[in-house]
Chains A and B, each alone.
Chain A
Amino acid sequence: MLVVNNVSKQFGNFSVLEDINIEFNNGVYGLLAPNGAGKTTLIKMLVTLLFPTKGEILYNGTEITGLDEKYRDVLGYLPQEFGYYKNYSPEQYLLYLAALKGIHKKQAKERISELLRLVNLEEASQKKMKKFSGGMIQRVGIAQAMLNDPKILILDEPTAGLDPKERARFRKLLTELARNRIVILSTHIVSDVESIANEIIMIKDKAVLYKDNTENISNLLEGKMYETEVDFSEATTFRERYTSIAEKRENGKMKFRFVANGEPHTEWKSVTPTLEDVFLYAYADGITLNGASV
């Protein structure tokens, strides 16, 4: 079990995170917040690249910095800006990292061919990575994070650059992996985590806003989510009165998906709220939702 205990992080006088408390058990955790909310800072603390200014992070009861290489031995990490050596092939690159992870060469070779098959890069295993597309590079990154069969797999924006087919494949892979490990996935793309995360963690104003499963978080907008069609001339007034979540032109009118508190109008159609609705609503300026389970 990985425990974040009263963790705060400051850079000089600038506070990024304050009093964060989270417990991670086996399963997929979606760390969901807009850019700049402190996701990467939290992730960097979880992988020992940064240290908390206050508080502690424990793995099975011991502080992770004290565990040193024993912690890194069970850790897999894909950073947001994943670097690689351009003249290396995926196989060379993974062999190098496998050595740094203390994996014996014979074992590493077997694991690498297994992983390259898993991320669909088997045929490109000998090609130089400088010729790779963004999606291919990202898949090499995912493979390197899984090299040591980690107990804690932390992925910062892992689906950046992946096409829809690769994203679906990746989600399937994570669900499979999460059966016997902690998978923490940081993203600002709701669909990446909506269907696979056991728990969603949202960060706002330097603190954990919600930590619950998708259903419970979506239910925070239960009975408040509607759709309706409005004339173009009334669209501006409508936006001022209600919180618009999505808009599109349809049948010569503006179709709004929006949040409204109070009595609904008869022409409004009540809809089931999704995680994306809550995400967009929660991060709209000056809005707070009650009933959050933190």
Chain B
Amino acid sequence: MSRKKPHIPFPNEKVMEREIEAIISRGLDPTPSFGRYLLTMYRQIGFRYIFRDATEIAFTLFLSIIILTFLSISVGNYAAFEQGNLYTWIFGWSPALYMIMAYFFFMNKKQSPIYEVEMTCKYNMYQLAAFRMLFFGLVAMLMNGFMIFLIASEYQLNFYFAFILSTTSLFLFATLFLYAQLKMKSLISKLAVIAGWGLINMFLSYFSSEVYQTILQQIPFYVYGVISICGFILYYKHLKKLTVYARAKGVV
């Protein structure tokens, strides 16, 4: 009998990789996209409980708008606003509402009496925070838009330019804020980021007011548009990281 060596086909690297991926994808639960995840969470929990503190948020927002308006009026009495100066003002102060909401209703959340219980529920504080922060960002953008609309009619500003400038500033700050929350450990460094934004803007507008105004106004409209979109995408990605933050870092 002739003994012939049987031919066993050996898969190449590509086939092996494809097979491994197929086995893994069948074995693991499919991971939903971040958007779908937020939607599922919203459907399961509902707006009422995601924003359990809606009255407090609305009150804080209302109070902040009043304070910021009076602050603007009193500053306006001392230094008459010129058009260019206003753009600087809008860029520096656009994240203010977001900053207030994010501080009181996210950073301060660890002081909540039921923090530990909330953190051990299926949807914990960080997962809820991702939805809330997205909402805060969008609400701040709309409120800024509304205020700019009121200012624009009074001071003859270019509304669209002012709005895109404000949105750029808002999402740049929001991304920076979330980055600080995710990467920095001490409360002081987190607060320093918040204070840093205001201080740098004040410094630039006070010491090199004209240069700063010129830079802000020279940048073309579409560049702000691109920065705004990129800022929003980065912000969205950081929100996604927030949902797994507790899993990666521990929370107490």
Contact = CB atoms under 8 A, between A and B. Distances in A.
Given A68-B247, A102-B45, A104-B44, 4 more contacts: A49-B119, A77-B120, A99-B45, A101-B122
Contacts of B123: 69, 100-102
Given A68-B244, A72-B124, A102-B122, A96 B52 contact: yes
Interface stretch (A78-86, A210-218, A231-239, A269-277): A78-86
Interface of A: 44, 47-51, 65-66, 68-69, 72-73, 75, 77, 79, 81-85, 95-97, 99-102, 104-105, 144, 148
B117 A97 contact: yes
Interface string B100-116: 00000000000011111
B246 A96 contact: no
B122 A73 contact: yes
B187 interface: no
A127 B114 CA distance: 19
Interface in B197-252: 244, 246-247, 250-252
Q: Looking at A48, A85, A144, which has the most chain B CB atoms within 10 Å of its CB?
A: A48
A186 B11 CA distance: 56
Interface of B: 44-46, 49, 52, 112-124, 127-128, 244, 246-247, 250-252
A102 B120 contact: no
A100 B122 CA distance: 6
B116 A97 contact: no
B49 A79 contact: no
Nearest to A96: B49
Given A44-B252, A85-B114, A148 B122 contact: yes
Contacts of A85: 113-114
Contacts of B115: 83
B122 A83 contact: no
A79 B117 contact: yes
A36 B247 CA distance: 26
B116 A79 contact: yes
Contacts of B244: 68
A77 B117 CA distance: 7
Contact of A49 (B112, B122, B251): B251
Would you list the 10 A-B pairs with minimal beta carbon distance, nearest first? A83-B113, A100-B121, A99-B49, A83-B114, A51-B250, A79-B116, A102-B122, A77-B120, A49-B252, A99-B45
12 contacts: A48-B251, A49-B116, A68-B244, A72-B121, A75-B120, A77-B120, A79-B117, A96-B52, A100-B49, A100-B118, A100-B121, A102-B45
B44 A102 contact: yes
Contact of B112 (A68, A83, A102): A83
B116 A83 contact: yes
B247 A82 contact: no
B121 A101 contact: yes
Given A72-B122, A79-B117, A83-B113, A100 B250 contact: no
B247 A50 contact: no
Contact of A69 (B118, B122, B251): B122
A49 B250 contact: yes
A46 to B, nearest CB: 10
A12 to B, nearest CB: 13
A124 to B, nearest CB: 19
A96 B45 CA distance: 9
A116 to B, nearest CB: 17
Contacts of A69: 122-124, 127
Contacts of A144: 117
B46 to A, nearest CB: 6
Contacts of B252: 44, 49-50
Nearest to A80: B116
Contacts of B118: 97, 100
A75 B119 CA distance: 11
Contacts of A84: 113-114
Contacts of B122: 69, 72-73, 100-102, 148
